[in-house]
Structure 1
């Protein structure tokens, strides 16, 4: 520390002697920054990291249409996310259908050298039978977390190594859910370098409120029935939720993302045409889809379908993923 201070004094003394006889204009802030960085080079590194983080944050927040195209205004929670207690034991224990013994710190790895990372930017998305908070809550047993757990099991049966994260990225801040899930991606992908497929699993959402019904001149019951019929169908004697793939058009690798989504949809259509919906392209979306070689955003059912209908869809989705990627 003493040596650094002596070094700073020597440098400043030399420059003080040189400055009066030089015609080069030196900005005061740049001069002071030079002195600090010369004596404490580690501060430069920290400053650059913070600057990068700030730029990344501002880029996301300054896009006014970001939230609209990422989640849709109808899908934003009505609960006060800042007051949600993530340590609430009753909430955590409500996931009776999730085999918690297989998860350590919200992570399960099914095999060595896994190829698939499955996570949820909106882990709080729930289905028709859990309407609290505009179908957003920590009712795990009726949420996309349960669907992700089942999909992990189905893919594991087919020989795939899967890393499944059940972390809530939409609590306490729903607005920063994609920034939060990006941190998870940045932490897990380097840890499991064999991963080349990332899946962000959601459910679709529609406005099923009284206000929307009034706007359309119909009833809430009719809205819910229409959405249920749109997002599910009867297949092989059971009611099954439909699924679709989403492409964020603002990604630098949008051609690759779109190619995978279209390829999966085409493959699914050849096997289960009744169950797959067309690819949805979000003009201002990113969804962190540039992070992995093959990034997939899947929406299984919607807030107009039940958890059981979404569960019934899982085996078909697993079959599509398995068949498509084994041909690549």
Structure 2
């Protein structure tokens, strides 16, 4: 008994000594960029891994070096010729004046259109409703070249009845293929559907770091196909097993759909701080793009859209103004429910992307 007590006292002393060393070293650790390393544990999949991680820990990059974000994503290497968003009347977006008036109230807008992750913050100046709903995201439809890119950072996401042994088409990739079919057949919008796998490493499922792996591939696709003006990263959400995200649209049971926006901002003790190494010059346009589609869906298909989800990440939304991360249902939905959701989703997309919809 006495031996155990003595051993316990020695361990206690060692623990106190270890704590002392940790407290002494912490200021130096933070000055050397350790704060970013700590945050990396909070924001998995949004900071560099491996050898690039060392480079990204520098607080201030040298003038002749790219930023940490550019080292991973290559955002300084690619210049896409995008048609600038121009203003149009909200009426052309088919938004009623009653809805528009309500949305101009920030409290109403925030509570009815957004779910804000506790790690970030939506500020009143982030969204000017008149400006957001008047941005023109229209494109010239064609089947001669791709105008829309659909990809899946989490390629292996599946539904309740998916048999993934039959192939990726059993999961979220099959849903992306259905959206491609409808956009091309019904709306004449050429789509490139990329099914590269980024959530598996060496044969083992690995979601952490998936965005670092999908980012360079998306960049290469955009270099190869400069005609692409819309980027859609399509996912399937994960929720409590006793919850099911369903609604009825035109007599069909559909999985509910949710847009996700990363606003590159952290809520630290009530203060909003930018995540400076996650660059995205299109945050305002990304927010407007999802808000337009969510607003139209709310009018045309009540209950179809969940609230737009905001968090500190960037995801793959920084390459162009017309970028969206879309969650189609969850693991509790059936594959058919997710497939059924593509008709109303395609209609909403087409209403925003086309001057005239069929």
Q: Same fold (TM over 0.5)?
A: yes
5+ residue gaps in structure 2? 1-34, 48-141, 265-279
Shift of 1:61: 9.0
Aligned position for 2:210: 177
Moved over 6 A (4+): 58-61
Shift of 1:237: 2.9
Q: Distance in 2 between matches of 1:201 and 1:184?
A: 15
TM-score of the superposed pair, with normalisation by structure 1: 0.58
Map of 1:55-66 to 2, 5 A cutoff?
A: 63-66=40-43
Q: Distance in 2 between matches of 1:262 and 1:60?
A: 33
Shift of 1:236: 3.2
- Identify the match of residue 144 of structure 2 among 80, 100, 112: 112
- Identify the match of residue 246 of structure 1 among 260, 264, 268: 260
Shift of 1:146: 0.2
5+ residue gaps in structure 1? 1-57, 71-109, 209-222
Aligned position for 2:238: 205
Q: Distance in 2 between matches of 1:322 and 1:266?
A: 14
Please give the per-residue CA displacement for 1:198-217, whole angstroms capped at 9, x wherever unaligned. Answer: 00001111143xxxxxxxxx
Cα separation, partners in 2 of 1:288 and 1:60, compared to 1, 3 Å:
farther
Equivalent residues of 1:169, 1:177 under 8 A apart: yes
Name the SS of the counterpart of 1:180 in structure 2. Answer: helix
Q: Which has the higher contact order (CA 8 A, sep 6+)?
A: 2
- Identify the match of residue 266 of structure 1 among 277, 295, 306: 295
Aligned position for 1:234: 248
Shift of 1:238: 2.5
Structure number with the higher helix fraction is 1
Equivalent residues of 1:121, 1:178 under 8 A apart: yes
Please give the per-residue CA displacement for 1:287-321, whole angstroms capped at 9, x wherever unaligned. Answer: 12111231111111111111010011111111111
Q: Distance in 2 between matches of 1:144 and 1:186?
A: 21
Equivalent residues of 2:45, 2:212 under 8 A apart: no
Larger C-alpha radius of gyration, 1 or 2?
1
Task: Please provide the CA RMSD for this pair.
Answer: 2.7
Shift of 1:116: 0.6
Equivalent residues of 1:150, 1:311 under 8 A apart: yes
TM-score of the superposed pair, with normalisation by structure 2: 0.54
Q: Distance in 2 between matches of 1:141 and 1:195?
A: 23
Equivalent residues of 2:255, 2:328 under 8 A apart: yes
Aligned position for 2:66: none
- Give the length in aligned residue pairs: 208
Shift of 1:130: 3.6
Aligned position for 1:153: 181
Aligned position for 2:328: 300
Please give the per-residue CA displacement for 1:212-238, whole angstroms capped at 9, x wherever unaligned. Answer: xxxxxxxxxxx2xxx11xx11233332
Aligned position for 1:121: 153
Aligned position for 2:195: 166
- Identify the match of residue 196 of structure 1 among 219, 229, 241: 229
Name the SS of the counterpart of 1:67 in structure 2. Answer: coil
